[in-house]
Structure 1
Amino acid sequence: MGFAYDEILRTLAPAARKALVRVLAVPLVLLLVPVAHPWTYLPSGDGGDAPYSAGASEAGSTTSDGEGGGADEPPPPSEAPATSEVPSASVEETAQARALDSVLEESAGYRTSVQSAVDDTSTCGATSGLEQSATTFREAATARGELADDVPALTLDQVRRGPDIKVLLQEALRLSATVDTHFADWATALDDGSCAPSSTTQQADYVLATGDANDAAASAKQDFVDVWNPIAETYSLRSWRADQF
Structure 2
Amino acid sequence: MPTGVLVGGGLAGVAAIGLVVGLLMADSGGGKPAGDKPQASTEPAGEKASPPPDPAEEQAKKLDALLADSNNSRSAVVRSVENIRTCKALDKAATDLRTAAEQRTGLVRRLDELKTDKIPDSGRLNAALKSAWKASASADNHYAAWADQVAGKKGCHKGKARHTRHTVLGNRASGTATTAKKQAAELWNPTARKYGLTERQFGQL
Aligned to 1:242: 202
Retained in 1: the 8 A contact 2:150–2:162?
A: no
- Equivalents in 1 of 2:193, 2:157: separation in Å? 47
The CA deviation at 1:198 is 4.6
The CA deviation at 1:177 is 0.8
Retained in 2: the 8 A contact 1:92–1:158?
A: yes
Aligned to 1:118: 81
Q: Which one has the largest radius of gyration?
A: 1
Residue 232 (str. 1) matches residue 192 (str. 2)? yes
Retained in 2: the 8 A contact 1:201–1:207?
A: no
Aligned to 2:62: 99
> Aligned partner of 2:169: which letter?
L
For each residue in 1:157-206, what CA deviation from the matched residue of structure 2 results, as whole angstroms up to 9, or x when unmatched?
33222233222211111111111111111111111254236532633322
Aligned to 1:90: 53
Change (3 A) 1:239 1:201: farther
Q: Please state whether the residue corresponding to 2:161 is helix, strand or coil.
A: helix
For each residue in 1:212-243, what CA deviation from the matched residue of structure 2 results, as whole angstroms up to 9, or x when unmatched?
22221111111111111111111212222222
Aligned to 1:216: 176
For each residue in 1:28-62, what CA deviation from the matched residue of structure 2 results, as whole angstroms up to 9, or x when unmatched?
xxxxxxxxxxxxxxxxxxxxxxxxxxxxxxxxxxx
Given the alignment, which residue of 106, 120, 130 partners 1:160? 120
Aligned to 1:138: 98
Retained in 2: the 8 A contact 1:134–1:188?
A: yes
Aligned to 1:179: 139
For each residue in 1:66-116, what CA deviation from the matched residue of structure 2 results, as whole angstroms up to 9, or x when unmatched?
xxxxxxxxxxxxxxxxxxxxxx99365433212212222212111221011
Change (3 A) 1:217 1:201: farther
Q: How many residues align?
A: 154
Change (3 A) 1:199 1:104: same
CA RMSD of aligned residues (A): 2.2
Q: Which has the higher contact order (CA 8 A, sep 6+)?
A: 2
Q: TM-score, normalised by structure 1?
A: 0.57
- Equivalents in 1 of 2:158, 2:200: separation in Å? 33
Change (3 A) 1:89 1:111: farther
Q: Please state whether the residue corresponding to 2:160 is helix, strand or coil.
A: helix
Change (3 A) 1:201 1:209: farther
> Aligned partner of 1:90: which letter?
P
Change (3 A) 1:196 1:228: same
Identity of aligned residues (%): 29
- Equivalents in 1 of 2:121, 2:168: separation in Å? 36
Change (3 A) 1:173 1:226: same
Listed as ranges, the matches of 1:3-18 within 5 Å are none
Residue 206 (str. 1) matches residue 167 (str. 2)? yes
For each residue in 1:96-152, what CA deviation from the matched residue of structure 2 results, as whole angstroms up to 9, or x when unmatched?
212212222212111221011112222212xxx111110000011111012112312
> Aligned partner of 2:163: which letter?
Q
- Equivalents in 2 of 1:218, 1:89: separation in Å? 38
Query: Structure 2: 5+ residue runs without aligned partners?
Result: 1-50
- Equivalents in 2 of 1:199, 1:137: separation in Å? 19
Residue 196 (str. 1) matches residue 157 (str. 2)? yes
Retained in 2: the 8 A contact 1:144–1:176?
A: yes
